[in-house]
Structure 1
Amino acid sequence: MKKPFVKTIDAQAPSVRKMDFAGLDDLPRYYFNDNAIITHATNSFHVIFPEGERFFIRSVKPFQDKIKDEGLKNRVKSFIGQEVQHGKEHERVWGSIRKFGLPLDRIANFYHFTAFKIIFKLLGFLFGPKINLSITAALEHYTATLGEISLKYDLAKDAYDDMRKLLVWHACEEIEHKSVVYDVMQEVAPSYLLRMIGFAIATVMLWSYAILLQYWFLIADPEVTWERFLKDRPYARNYMKITLSPLFWGTLKYFKPNFHPDQIGGYDLAEKRLATL
């Protein structure tokens, strides 16, 4: 990877950092601690994120002209720039996945069609663009919470080279811009009911696709025998034990009527980890 110009974490003025994780083009089959379960769990997010990031951008764009605060307008522009970079780097992994004969394109096409051509299109038709904004704000809370957990417990430490750097960089920037969409929602659609509906939809969508796509990869992988699956389970189980409890308590904070993402913080942690890249 070319050494990036690492700008400091600033929630009030996020920076667009154009990375070049060249190592993503040639990853080993099981790039996460030689563990098939966690690798394919991560592969599911490499499929989910690129189109998901584009959905985030489409969700916030209809409201850009309605934002009165100039600072927030600038933060939205940076948010869009960061999400574009995230999608590009995660999509870069697709070539490495394809070379092992895994049905990456079939899985991605299924996800794109069912999520964005059917479910989100129907939701937008029935409830208008504000529901997409609400869903995006909830998903941003999830990604920022997961990012902070990942950095706090160094969950990417066993990932291969540039994959580790990708996961750390993405986590840092999710923390940096975590309040942007929420602040847009508070300005143009400050409804607690809308926020909760968006959270419920986001929760079902995110985890349904994450689990479904992970097991699709596992079942389609000819090298994941039952013996291999059992061998890899202890590491994967320990990984989930570390993650699930703080994720549960972190997401519960979203239910507070006076919640704001800045109440959680994590900016100093993101700054510290970003500087290590």
Structure 2
Amino acid sequence: MSVQTETKKRNLKSIDANSPTVRKMNFEGLENLPDHYIANNAYLTHNVNAYHVLFPEGERFFIKSVKAFADQVKDPGLANRVKAFIGQEVQHGKEHEKILEVLKGQNRPINFMVKAYQWTAFSFFLPLFEFIFGKKLKLAVTAGLEHYTASMAEISIRHQLHEHAYGDMRNLLLWHACEEIEHKSVAYDVLQTVSKSYFLRILGFIIASFMFWGYSISFQHWFLLADKKVGIRKYFQDLNASRDFGRKLYPRLVKLSLLYFKKDFHPDQTGGYELANEALITI
């Protein structure tokens, strides 16, 4: 099912991985989001809602992890990319926080979710891993999570999954996806600058994988259980209707995830920059 949207062209600066741009956005009408704003499907909508919870605090974690080693970056090009990365992540966090306020207005359990996420991930698990494996571990986790977000962005754009979103939510998701592709190699390149350890890179990716899947699936089903408009019948109806999305997303995501284990892997190998640029001009 496709949702028709009228897009207001914003004439945004082109995607450039060598010189990313901080694009400040102004999305309209999102305060009137319907309860199930992805293809009128609760299962898909609450999957995206889980990301809205994860992103603001996650973006702040990415920024801190990269900034902690920014003084060791001597290459001027990478230093400028780090600044743009930070600026983009700040904007992403702000826009997703706006959506959290909308979701609170829909009586979603946002405050409980955010507190649970902040405490378990950022006050317990990650500090514990940092204590055991050292300060560079957080940077390795960031690089791994950036690979996930860029991979999902590429798949979403390629299959136009954003076109199923209501109104300007389509543009918000597409803008974020394009910028995730644009800056996807920044955290990785900073990690390679401070440590070329294959063990550290893969350990970070494994931890990132558990975090990414664990929190996204848990929060998605927390949303579903708290949604008074979702009973057992609708749950399975929407789950079944979402299978086509899954067939497009998960096989490619698994393939891209496995690429991360190659010793000579680099995010630029997966491309997607022209694809992102073609998508960006539709916002």
**Bin for the TM-score computed over the shorter chain:** over 0.9
Residue 53 of structure 2: aligned partner:
47
Equivalent residue runs for 1:166-177 within 5 Å: 166-177=172-183
TM-score between the two structures when normalised by the length of structure 1? 0.97
How far does residue 5 in structure 1 lie from its aligned partner after superposition? 4.9
In the alignment, structure 1 residue 234 sits paired with structure 2 residue 240: yes
Return the letter of the residue paired with 1:193.
Answer: F
Q: Give the alignment partner of residue 16 of structure 2, picking from 5, 10, 16.
A: 10
Structure 1 residue 213 corresponds to structure 2 residue 225: no
Take 1:23 and 1:103, find their aligned partners in 2: how far apart are those partners? 22
CA-CA distance at 1:158 after TM superposition: 0.9
Partner of 1:134: 140
The answer to whether the 8 A contact 2:43-2:242 is kept is: yes
Quote how far apart the aligned CAs of 1:30 are.
0.6
Amino acid at match of 1:145: S
1:69 and 2:49 aligned: no
Distance in structure 2 (CA, Å) of the matches to 1:2 and 1:154: 18
Partner residue in 1 for 2:88: 82
Deviation per residue, 1:144-200 (Å, 9 max, x gap): 110000000001111001111111111100000001111111111111110010011
For 2:135 and 2:82, the matched residues in 1 are separated by 17
Provide the residue aligned with 2:124 in structure 1.
118
- Choose from 184, 187, 190 the match for 1:181: 187
For 2:180 and 2:151, how far apart are their aligned partners in 1?
A: 9
Contact 2:12 2:23 in 1 (8 A): yes
Matched position secondary structure for 1:132: helix
Contact (CA 8 Å) 1:4, 1:17: kept in 2 or not? no
Q: CA deviation at 1:235?
A: 1.9
| In structure 2, distance between residues paired with 1:26 and 1:87 | 20
* TM superposition shift of 1:275: 0.5
2:53 maps to a residue whose letter is: V
Q: Secondary structure at the match of 1:165?
A: helix
Measure how far apart 1:222 and its partner are: 1.1
CA apart distance, 1:2: 7.7
Secondary structure of 1:161's aligned partner:
coil
Task: Work out the number of aligned pairs and report it.
Answer: 277
Amino acid at match of 2:68: P
Higher relative contact order (CA closer than 8 Å, sequence separation 6+): 2
What is the distance in 2 between the residues matched to 1:77 and 1:24? 29
- Equivalent residue for 1:246? 252
Moved >3 Å (runs of 4+): 1-5
Quick check: 1:22–1:162 contact (8 Å CA) kept in 2? yes
Alignment gaps of 5+ in structure 2 = 1-6
Contact 1:149–1:246 under 8 Å retained in 2: yes
Deviation larger for 166-175 or 16-25: 16-25
Q: Output aligned runs, 1:132-171, within 5 Å.
A: 132-171=138-177
Per-residue deviation at 1:25? Answer: 2.3
Relative distance call for 1:2 and 1:127 in structure 2 (3 A) is farther
**How many angstroms apart in 2 are the aligned matches of 1:244 and 1:161?**
26
Which of 248, 261, 276 is the matching residue for 1:270?
A: 276
Report how far residue 23 of structure 1 moved: 2.2
**How far 1:126 sits from its partner (Å)?**
2.4
Alpha-carbon distance between aligned partners in 2 of 1:219 and 1:45, rounded to the nearest angstrom: 17
Q: 1:24: Cα distance to partner?
A: 2.2
* Structure 1 unmatched runs, 5+: none
> After the TM superposition, which of the residue ranges 189-198 and 92-101 deviates more from structure 2?
92-101
**How far has the Cα of 1:21 moved from its partner?**
1.2
Structure 2 partner of 1:106:
112
Whole-angstrom distance in 2 between the partners of 1:144 and 1:100? 29
Q: Tell me how large the CA RMSD over aligned residues is.
A: 1.2
TM-score for both structures, normalised by structure 2: 0.95
Aligned AA (2:12): V
